[in-house]
A and B are shown apart, each in its own frame.
Chain A
Amino acid sequence: MDREARRALESYRRTEAGPLENALIDDFVAGEFDRRELLRRASILGLSIPVVGVLLRAAGEPVPAFAAAHGAASASRLRVAIIPPPTGSIEPSTVSDIGGLQTASIAGEYLVRATQSKTLLPELALSWSTNPQASIWTFKLRPNVKFQTGQALTADDVVATWKRLASKGSQALSAIGSYLGPGGVQKVDDLTVAFHLNQPVSNFPYLVSSTTYQGIILPADYQLGTFTTKPQTTGAFALSAYTPGVSATYQRFGGWWGGTAPLAGVDVTYYTAAAAADAALLGGQIDLVGQVQLATDRPLFNNSNVQIFTARGATHREVPLRVDDNNPLQDYRVRQAIALTLDRPAIVKTLFNDLADIGNDSPFAPVYGLATSVPARKQDIRKAKQLIAAAGHEKGFSLKLTTEQLGEIPELAQIIQSSVKAIGIDLGLSILTSTAYYAGTQTGPPKGWGATPWLNAPVDITDWGSRPVPNVFLVSALETKGVWNAAHYSNPKFDSGVRSFLGAASFKDQEKYAVELANILLHDTPVIFPYFYYYLAAGSKSVKGYTADASAVLHLSKTSLA
């Protein structure tokens, strides 16, 4: 062990580290998690690279290399397919569809960039720290950053952007609404911003990272509705032309703080059907398809001319079972029985060819490394029949599952329909277009869930994007007042557990609360989480330096063409 490193570490602990940093170091030294997890957690707390290096040296671990490789600037332009086209105008604070978020993310930058390994890297914020309670988070901004309008980035821009994101109408509220109000975003000095939270949140930096894809930093004088009319982000590419539903064109931004991007520009073509985009990729008309799935893009897999980019994440489907409807699902035993009919390994094999993790009916995806000690729910038809009989429904009953025509969801619906037959449930299917499925979405309690199918059907299947931490899934989908609580689930013990989990600073405490929450959900089974599938993109062999992002954002500043 490096004695000098140990001395430096002790000095850091005495003079700079707060309780959260010290708890992290103690957990690592005690062997609670590995080196990879240390890097991830250190990035959340904003520990500098030298401090992480000292800690690793003190523990006898090799120091990581953070150097990023850049390709040389070229005249090449990347041709990207985005499926489907944006559903509305591109407005970062309100964007929520994949076409819109991918279009915006090519030009935009965030305070913090989440990487595929869940480590947080500085982007427009150079460093960040928190108070001991994890209720005030302070971000130091990168100096000498310029917007494409020529203005310099200051704290005023970040404050204006995040006040908008924390205000009514913002889609980012699903991620931050429970913890942050507009008044909580405050300027400290020209290059420092503080976020004052309503409650402690130990992993808050994730919520201002690229995973909250609405969080693109825009100038303080940004006018709503002008995102596509003039280039005004800080990113490596400037959005120079946009034709709704047809195409978008980006040019390399010469004033980018990160230097010169390898690509001269990006040309996006929107496709409505995966088959058309696949044919274009195979025919050499495009270089990269922003998102693919085995179910809809099978011809691209095992094709020697195509490379598949994968990002293990928490993208998943939820099957909420309405707990408050006047039907047998009110009984938790019926919900458990339905969950027990699913042969999850077979589902993952059939629908994803194993490019997915098996779900255990909680939002703690395996990628989070939490609640892994909770026994996995496995197919058990005998037990399912016993539960159905105990609930007084041994003769079976009829029910309707409503869902959307998206990816593999119709196939999953048919698998569930076929599976629950074994316990006498006659499950009808209603497969709607995504537009019809989400029509009339309301914001949930206290106003209620309106009449939108996805928040009111007795059983449905809904697509959920990946998040680097499970906060949104716990708060929005499962808490009593969750805006997307499609199961209408309410359990005070669970709600209290969520608060404890969110505020837990140490890994030990997070794990403890995660196990508690996972066990409550396994018992109550308000939602079935059958799997968490990998985010996949496909490109020609000439695409270099691109890494898929589980949040679906397209980060192309280091991408090049061979």
Chain B
Amino acid sequence: MSSIAVELVPAPATVARRETLRALLRSKTFLVGALVVCWWVFCAIFGATIAPRDPLAQSANVLAVPSVHHLFGTDQLGRDVFSRVLAGARSILTIAPAATALAIAAGTAVGLLTGYRRGAVDDIVSRLIEAMLSLPLVVVAIVVAVALGHSTLTLMVIVGVLFTPLIARTVRAAVLAERELDYVAAAQLRGEHAPYIMFAEILPNVMGPIIVEATVRVGYAIFAIAGLTFLGFGVQEPSPDWALQISDNYSLLAAGSYWWTVLFPALAIASLVVAINLVADGISQVLER
């Protein structure tokens, strides 16, 4: 009996993923962004534990300037701003990714459908999407928030639904190019059903743009949620949410007073958004190669 030596060769897709990962790890843009994002994710999970003080604990030491005792000072209720900045990562890093995931799921489905089906479905849905995109996002969000009432779930759904058309448009554009390729024609000749072709054949091939879009949208979602919270339609007191901290304290900024109550939460939001954009840029550069 002769033995046959079989060489295990990785599938082309696996090789491609490894290559992409290696390229990402070589990208300084991606690495810097990922590092900062990881820090805030760590804070979102463990922020309240590692904070030197209870982020909700009030004290008589109100509006204390930054010092050794309070690195970022205290706010109007004597709460430690440093502890609140650390703990405040949780709400934004829960709501923004969840809202983006909702938008990605819904937007991808709509984009696949319109891009693959074309015809009347595409015409009608595309006009609806254009109509939605013509409305100012924040105004629509406020109207819906007032109508539905305040809750974290409402906020997620509002942002998720408002971002859906944007993602649908991106996915549709990618699908329009893919649907003309041979592998789609082959699947149609095999008699595959449309949902199978859309989700099993086309979707894996448009994941690149979707991933980039998702990353970019997380950044925008953070801005949208922070904006709504700042205007009083988002996260509720006494959460240490960054935007809520800014909203609570921005009136103290006149004449340069009490700057620490606003500066540090604002820097936290800025650093997270910039980091997410760096990650998105890194992914985009690698996928475009």
- Chain A positions within 8 Å of B251 at CB level: 273-275, 278, 296-299
* A350 pairs with B56, CB closer than 8 A: no
Q: Mark A399-432, 1 if CB is under 8 A from B, else 0.
A: 0000001000011011101100000000001111
Question: Distance (Å) between the CB of B175 and the closest chain A CB?
Answer: 42
Indicate whether A411 sits within 8 Å of B76 (C-beta atoms), given known contacts A349-B60, A429-B238, A433-B232: yes
A151–B63 alpha-carbon span in the complex (Å)? 56
B253 adjacent to chain A (CB < 8 Å): yes
- Chain A positions within 8 Å of B237 at CB level: 410, 413-414, 429, 431
* A299 pairs with B77, CB closer than 8 A: no
* A430 pairs with B255, CB closer than 8 A: no
- Chain B positions within 8 Å of A298 at CB level: 63, 76, 251-252, 257-258
* B77 pairs with A430, CB closer than 8 A: no
CB closest residue in chain A, given B150: A430
B58 adjacent to chain A (CB < 8 Å): yes
* B76 pairs with A295, CB closer than 8 A: yes
* B77 pairs with A414, CB closer than 8 A: yes
Interface residues on A, range: 20 to 34
- Chain A positions within 8 Å of B258 at CB level: 298-299
- Chain B positions within 8 Å of A295 at CB level: 76
B62 adjacent to chain A (CB < 8 Å): yes
CB closest residue in chain A, given B56: A418
In residues 205-262 of chain B, which contact A (Cβ within 8 Å)? 232, 236-238, 248, 250-255, 257-258
A311–B250 alpha-carbon span in the complex (Å)? 27
How many residue pairs, one in A and one in B, have C-beta atoms under 8 Å apart?
A: 71
Q: Mark A301-334, 1 if CB is under 8 A from B, else 0.
A: 0010000000000000000000000000000000
A65–B51 alpha-carbon span in the complex (Å)? 62
A73 adjacent to chain B (CB < 8 Å): no
A296–B58 alpha-carbon span in the complex (Å)? 18
Indicate whether A350 sits within 8 Å of B60 (C-beta atoms), given known contacts A410-B237, A430-B236, A436-B146: yes
Chain B interface helix/strand/loop/mixed: loop
- Chain B positions within 8 Å of A220 at CB level: none
Indicate whether A300 sits within 8 Å of B254 (C-beta atoms), given known contacts A411-B76, A414-B58: yes
- Chain A positions within 8 Å of B236 at CB level: 429-431
- Chain B positions within 8 Å of A279 at CB level: 254-255
A430–B154 alpha-carbon span in the complex (Å)? 14
* B150 pairs with A299, CB closer than 8 A: no
Question: Distance (Å) between the CB of B6 and the closest chain A CB?
Answer: 63
Question: Distance (Å) between the CB of B257 and the closest chain A CB?
Answer: 4
* A299 pairs with B253, CB closer than 8 A: yes
A346 adjacent to chain B (CB < 8 Å): yes
Q: Mark A330-370, 1 if CB is under 8 A from B, else 0.
A: 00000000000000001001100000000000000000000
B78 adjacent to chain A (CB < 8 Å): yes
A25–B56 alpha-carbon span in the complex (Å)? 56
A411–B78 alpha-carbon span in the complex (Å)? 11
A417–B56 alpha-carbon span in the complex (Å)? 10
CB closest residue in chain A, given B151: A430
CB closest residue in chain A, given B238: A414
* A299 pairs with B232, CB closer than 8 A: no
A282 adjacent to chain B (CB < 8 Å): yes
CB closest residue in chain B, given A403: B237
CB closest residue in chain B, given A408: B76
- Chain B positions within 8 Å of A346 at CB level: 60
Indicate whether A303 sits within 8 Å of B58 (C-beta atoms), given known contacts A405-B232, A429-B236: no
CB closest residue in chain A, given B62: A350
In residues 86-118 of chain B, which contact A (Cβ within 8 Å)? none
Identify the A interface with B (CB < 8 A).
273-275, 278-279, 282, 295-300, 303, 346, 349-350, 405, 410-411, 413-415, 417-418, 429-433, 436
A to B CB contacts below 8 Å, 24 in the list: A275-B251, A278-B251, A279-B255, A297-B254, A298-B252, A299-B251, A299-B258, A303-B255, A346-B60, A350-B60, A350-B62, A410-B237, A410-B248, A411-B76, A414-B77, A414-B237, A414-B238, A415-B77, A418-B58, A429-B237, A430-B150, A430-B236, A431-B232, A431-B237
Report the 10 A-B pairs with minimum CB-CB distance, sorted nearest first.
Answer: A299-B254, A278-B254, A275-B251, A299-B257, A414-B238, A299-B255, A296-B251, A405-B232, A279-B254, A274-B251
Given A346-B60, A418-B58, A430-B236, 4 more A-B residue pairs with CB atoms under 8 Å apart are A298-B257, A299-B254, A350-B76, A410-B248
